[in-house]
C-alpha cells in the first residue's frame, strides 16, 4: 500500500489571480491555436474546445454548429457506416470519429476513411474508459503504424507516467480525466479517480516534455473551469454536460411540470449499456449517471458565453491568446466549501 500525502486539487479548489494587463478589449484576444504534433505531420488550426464523444453530445448536428466557431466535435462511436455516409458537408478538420480498441473498430475506421478519400479525416480518437491496460498502448502502436499521418487521440488516463506511455506508443494527444465528468460515477462505484486540476498539471508536464499534447476531459461545470483548465496547461478542453440539453444534443426531450429537460447519461451507465450492448453484463457495475438537464435551446448561445468568458479571462491576466494562458496564470488555493 502506498499513500501519497500531497493534496490534489479540483477546479473549485483554485481561483485565477488577476494581473496587470496592456489589453484594452476582449476583441484583442485570439482564441485560435495552431498545433504541430509529435507523430502526425499534420498541422491543425482552430479553437481548442471540443464536444465530448457521448451520444447525448457528440452528434453530427453538434459538429455542424461547432464548425461555425472553428471548434471540433468528437463524434460518438455508435454511429454506423450508413449514418456516416452523406456527412461530407461537415468540414473533416472539425469532425473527429471515436472508436474503441478492438479489431472491428479499426476496420470501421478504415471504412469511414474511404468515405473521405478526397478530403481525409485528420483525427482519430481511441476512447476507452480505463486507459491503463497494456493492450491500449499496443493498439495505439498498431494504429500509428497503419495510419502514420493521422492525429491520434487516446485515453483516458490521469497520471504522468501513463500519459508518457501512450505518447511513446504513438498517441499525439492524450485524453485526461477519470471520475470527474458530471455524468460519471466511477469514483463513487470504484473509489478510483484523480482531481482534474492536478491531473491536468501533471499530465501536461509529462506530455509537453515529449512533444505531445493533452485534452482535459471532464470536470468543467462553469465557463471559469474551462479557463482554469487552459491555465493549468491543457491544450484542448472537452465538454460534455455543458453542451448537453441543446437542440443539437442527443437525448430524449422530457416535459415535467411545464418545464422541458433532455436526458443526459454517461456512456458506462446502465442506460447506455441497454441501448448499445444488450444490457449491463453480470460482471459489470454501472459507472455512469442518468441526469435530466434543463432544455437550453440552440447551442449558439452557450458557445458565445464560453468563448466570451475565455476572452474575459485573458484580459484579466494579460494573455493575448489561449497559448499564453499557462504562462500568465497564477492560481491560489481556496476553501472550496465556501467558493460556489
Task: Reduce the DSSP state of residue 156 to 3 states and report it.
Answer: strand
Other beta carbons within 10 angstroms of residue 80's beta carbon come to 9
What burial class does residue 330 get, using C-beta atoms within 10 Å of its C-beta: 0-12 exposed, 13-18 middle, 19+ buried? exposed
DSSP secondary structure of 219-245: ---SHHHHHHHHHHT-SEEEESGGGTT
Determine if the peptide bond prior to 17 is cis (ω within 30°). Answer: no
Structural domain total, the chain? 1
Q: What pLDDT was estimated at residue 340?
A: 53
* Contact residues for 225 (Cβ-Cβ < 8 A; gap 6+): 11, 219
Q: Is residue 183 part of a domain?
A: yes
Q: Is residue 340 part of a domain?
A: no
Q: Which of 59, 125, 163, 184 is catalytic?
A: 184
CATH number at residue 202: 3.20.20.70
Q: What pLDDT was estimated at residue 276?
A: 59
Domain that holds residue 78: 11-333
Q: Is residue 4 part of a domain?
A: no
Phi, psi of 47 (to 5 degrees): -90, 120
Q: Is residue 5 part of a domain?
A: no
Q: Is residue 79 part of a domain?
A: yes
Q: Are 265 and 291 in contact (CB under 8 A)?
A: yes
Is there a catalytic annotation at residue 59? no
List the pLDDT tens digit at each of the 340 positions of the chain: 999 899 999 999 999 999 998 888 888 999 999 999 999 999 999 999 999 998 889 999 999 999 999 999 999 999 999 999 888 789 999 999 999 999 999 999 999 999 998 888 999 999 998 999 999 999 999 999 999 999 999 989 999 999 999 999 999 999 999 988 777 777 778 888 899 999 999 999 999 999 999 999 999 999 999 999 999 999 999 999 999 999 999 878 888 888 898 877 666 555 555 555 665 456 555 555 677 889 999 999 999 999 999 999 999 999 999 999 999 999 999 986 555 5
Q: How far is CA 260 from CA 155, 245, 246, 250, 295, in A?
A: 34, 9, 11, 14, 5
Q: Is residue 2 part of a domain?
A: no
Q: What pLDDT was estimated at residue 190?
A: 83
Q: Is residue 3 part of a domain?
A: no
Q: Which of 59, 73, 163, 186 is catalytic?
A: 186
pTM score, two decimals?
0.93
Is there a catalytic annotation at residue 220? no
Residue 30 bridge partners (DSSP)? 321
Task: Tell me how far apart the alpha carbons of residues 127 and 65 are, in angstroms, rounded to a whole number.
Answer: 23
Q: How far is CA 212 from CA 37, 57, 134, 224, in A?
A: 6, 26, 19, 25
Q: Is residue 182 part of a domain?
A: yes
Amino acid at each position: 500500500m502506498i499513500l501519497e500525502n500531497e493534496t490534489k486539487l479540483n477546479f473549485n479548489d483554485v481561483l485565477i489571480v488577476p494581473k496587470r494587463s496592456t489589453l484594452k478589449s476582449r476583441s484583442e484576444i485570439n482564441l485560435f491555436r495552431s498545433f504541430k504534433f509529435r507523430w502526425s505531420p499534420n498541422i491543425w488550426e482552430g479553437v481548442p474546445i471540443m464536444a465530448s464523444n457521448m451520444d447525448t453530445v457528440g452528434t453530427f448536428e453538434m459538429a455542424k454548429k461547432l464548425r461555425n466557431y472553428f471548434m471540433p466535435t468528437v463524434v460518438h462511436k455508435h454511429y454506423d457506416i450508413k449514418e456516416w455516409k452523406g456527412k461530407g458537408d461537415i468540414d473533416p478538420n472539425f469532425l473527429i470519429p471515436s472508436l474503441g480498441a478492438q479489431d472491428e473498430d479499426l476496420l470501421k475506421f478504415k471504412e469511414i476513411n474511404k468515405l473521405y478519400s478526397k478530403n481525409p479525416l485528420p483525427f482519430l480518437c481511441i476512447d476507452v474508459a480505463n486507459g491503463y491496460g497494456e493492450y491500449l498502448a499496443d493498439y495505439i502502436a498498431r494504429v500509428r503504424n497503419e495510419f502514420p499521418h493521422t492525429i491520434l487521440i487516446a485515453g483516458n488516463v490521469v497520471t504522468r507516467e501513463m500519459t508518457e506511455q501512450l505518447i511513446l506508443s504513438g498517441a499525439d494527444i492524450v485524453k485526461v480525466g477519470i471520475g470527474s465528468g458530471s455524468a460519471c460515477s466511477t469514483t463513487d462505484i470504484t473509489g478510483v479517480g484523480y482531481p482534474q486540476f492536478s491531473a491536468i498539471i501533471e499530465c501536461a508536464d509529462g506530455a509537453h516534455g515529449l512533444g505531445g499534447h493533452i485534452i482535459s476531459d471532464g470536470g468543467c461545470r462553469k465557463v471559469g473551469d474551462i479557463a482554469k483548465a487552459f491555465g493549468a496547461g491543457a491544450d484542448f478542453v472537452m465538454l460534455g454536460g455543458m453542451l448537453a440539453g441543446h437542440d443539437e444534443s442527443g437525448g430524449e426531450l422530457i416535459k415535467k411540470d411545464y418545464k422541458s429537460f433532455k436526458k443526459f447519461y454517461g456512456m458506462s451507465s446502465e442506460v447506455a449499456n441497454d441501448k448499445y450492448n444488450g444490457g449491463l453484463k453480470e460482471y459489470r457495475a454501472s459507472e455512469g449517471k442518468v441526469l435530466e438537464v434543463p432544455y437550453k435551446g440552440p447551442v449558439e448561445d452557450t458557445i458565445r458565453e464560453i468563448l466570451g468568458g475565455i476572452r474575459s479571462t485573458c484580459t484579466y491576466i494579460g494573455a493575448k491568446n489561449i497559448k499564453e494562458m499557462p504562462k500568465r496564470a497564477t492560481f491560489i488555493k481556496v476553501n472550496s466549501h465556501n467558493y460556489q
